[in-house]
Amino acid sequence: MKIAIVGGGPGGLYLAALMKQLDPGHDITVWERNAADDTFGFGVVFSDETLGGIESADTEFADAMARRFARWTDIDIHFRGESHTVGGQGFAAMSRKELLRLLQERCRGLGVVTHFSTLAPAVGDLIASYDLVVGADGLNSQVRQAYADVFRPTLDRRPNKYMWLGTDRVFEAFQFFIKQTEWGTMQVHGYPYSDGGSTFIVEMHEDVWRRAGFDVTEGVEFPPGVSDDQAIERLRELFADELGGHQVFANNSKWLNFTTVRNERWHHGNLVLIGDAAHTAHFSIGSGTKLAMEDALALAACLHENPDAEAALTAYESERRPVVESTQRAAQASLEWFENIGMYVHQEPTQFCFNLLTRSRRITYDNLRTRDRDFADRVDAAFAASQGLDGVAPAMFQPFRLGRLELKNRVVVSPMDMYSAVDGVPGDFHLVHLGSKAMGGAGLVMTEMVCVSPDGRITPGCAGLWTDEQRDSWARIVSFVHDRTTARIGLQLGHSGRKGSTKLMWEGMDDPLEQGNWEVVGPSPLPYGPGSPVPREVTRADMGEIVADFVAAARRGAEAGFDLLELHCAHGYLLSSFLSPISNRRTDEYGGSLENRLRFPLEVFEAVRAAWPAERPMSVRISATDWAPDGNTEKDAVEIARAFIAHGADAIDVSSGQVTKDERPAFGRSYQTPFADRVRQEIAAATGTAVIAVGAIASYDDVNSILLAGRADLCAVGRTHLYDPHWTLHAAAEQEYRGAAAEWPVQFAAGRRKPPTARTDAVRPRLSLLRADTTDQNVHLRWTPHRDPAPVS
């Protein structure tokens, strides 16, 4: 092939070297606009996975890299006068300048033509003249820009300011310095990359940056290679203690805002993007160099394995996109954590460190326990102490007081609509469904959304509480839970609003009924989505009737014996649709500002709170974001939660979305937890209000990690309980926990041990078991470069 590569950074050069090794007949030319010895940045970090791929693909180059690596396993976190060390992580770093020099030498030795200090020809000309054109030209890619209508990039510029610096202080491990200043929180990400230097990245929120006066050079355009010396001198003074008398070095160092790059497509015809041209991920979870070189490995393999460029580029994008998107989700969580670091500085130091380490959700409690058992023990002990509890049990099996209600553990079965009631009456299905989850060990089991009127149903199969017959049927279920288990059971009340009169979920989710339908209402005459009925705008008289329906249902719920009541103000149902500016376009006192949009939901809450027994708690489920332009955001969610707490809510159950068909949610593991975290840190923790996290929390490890980091007080788990009704008890067995928080029903007690599998009778060598259990010498590996002794004078 005749290959043109635009960009002579690590990704472009490594791809060139790989392709030449796969077939020396390839004619490869690289253009780089900077000089060969221009290197912006200091050190780059690699994961073991990336290094394994490099070693397999090019042993000679991998060996050259390995001889230059700084290696260590520790992370040191310096916070509020304390230093905490966590081991077992595994890092390898080297000088970016050295890496580029090695790659340039490798390419020269293989016969790759490289043009430095040279702009590449126009992309259109390259496409016409070459079999393959690779855009490896970084964040400000001209290749991407030339075909922006095809790649459809989005550039998300983040609010934090950061500056990339170096120092001659050689750190022994990865360093996080969290510095409290009179202007706010600043942080340093530092790590060694050789026996002579370390990377030293200073980061802070833009508000802190402005208050500290760093914006004095905001309008200055620094030419390439010129650094912001005024800011650097101030940073030397601010971080004198962290530098310990050592120097700070600049290299094209100036204040930057990180930009997350995403592209809808990565290739077009014979043109393909790699590295930062295609995607970026925040530096707090790794290296752009690492991702670029992984791209090069995958692209080279796909080009070698497929018969033509189009097939190869399709295979490359299919292989890499899921990996990159997963990395970007983790990076997004990480960068948002650092943007909001000021929310966490009140935390006890051990919890803060655990929170920092698990910020991206890639590292969890179990990961840390595997890597550094002593640190995990300290986290457990700190959590138990903060809760005033004796002994150390897994966080999920610590008891919790919700208002005056005692919960044996912190697992909640999420409300999940079953669409299986007849005329609103729950039957045997509901008894088995909720009863089995209660017997399965959860501390609190929630009903589905129970509708307050026939016209407030979502579907004909929805359960209700508008008749005494329905109350009595619920009472049977509540009695079973109380008589046969130690769980508590909660009632979720709601009204479907504009999302009502639809088919059962498995017949067509949100599809309107073709017959037997009823009138739907909403704050404004706006349908939920295409094909949905247009709701009638509710009048003030309608509001009074709806409030009365909620009150009557709440009283019946109390008579049925429910332990808790949750008001459903999420997912686009009636009260949620009042809260969202997408569905509420009213011009009276119930529309417009957030204060006005809150008015009717708060009226309902106050009326229900007055009717509900004072000794029983109430929670409110909210949609923290509408996942749509011009909708509610997490900032609105904080204010919505604040209003309900001020009116007496004991807990806020933080979900998201389902307010509009046009939503674009960012699905992923525990993807809604950051919203719960924000509500808890900003208001709930100070008021003693519980926060419930929900949304793709799929493992007991996730539950423990969320609780230990202080992101929520309780975790609601839904689909996982459908997969395994005894999930909580099985989680206890997996963690070898036995206690009151996870008692098996006496009838099932014989099954509380995990069933044996093949070869459980195998006799393991005793000595090797002892050695495996006591050999932790690599948990704490520090970078201690070998220097020649100083000459004797």
Nearest to 15 by CA among 97, 129, 98, 134: 134
DSSP symbol at 548: H
> What are the backbone angles phi and psi of residue 78, rounded to the nearest 5°?
-110, 115
Distance CA 698, CA 323 (A): 20
Point out which residues pair with 564 in neighbouring strands: 490
CB atoms within 10 A of CB 136: 32
Choosing from 130, 193, 344, 573, the catalytic residue is 573
Chain centroid offset of residue 161 CA: 21
DSSP symbol at 306: S
Point out which residues pair with 569 in neighbouring strands: 622
Distance CA 344, CA 704 (A): 18
Point out which residues pair with 82 in neighbouring strands: 79
Nearest to 471 by CA among 375, 405, 555, 391: 555
Token pair 């979900």 in the structure block, residue: 655
Chain centroid offset of residue 232 CA: 33
Distance CA 636, CA 596 (A): 13
Distance CA 547, CA 555 (A): 12
Nearest to 252 by CA among 220, 222, 227, 217: 227
Residues with Cβ < 8 Å from 625, sequence gap 6 or more?
631, 632, 633, 634, 637, 656, 657, 675
Distance CA 88, CA 144 (A): 39
Distance CA 187, CA 181 (A): 10
Strands 400-402 and 405-407: antiparallel
State whether residue 51 is helix, strand or coil: helix
Residue 633: exposure state from Cβ atoms within 10 A (0-12, 13-18, ≥19): middle
Residue 454: exposure state from Cβ atoms within 10 A (0-12, 13-18, ≥19): middle
Nearest to 67 by CA among 109, 95, 41, 42: 95
> Is 573 annotated in the active site?
yes
Nearest to 466 by CA among 456, 477, 475: 456
Query: What are the Cα distances from residue 97, in Å, to 10, 162, 206, 466?
Result: 10, 21, 30, 73
Residue 300 token pair: 């080279």
Within the chain, what is the greatest distance between any pair of CA atoms?
Answer: 100
Residues annotated as catalytic are 573
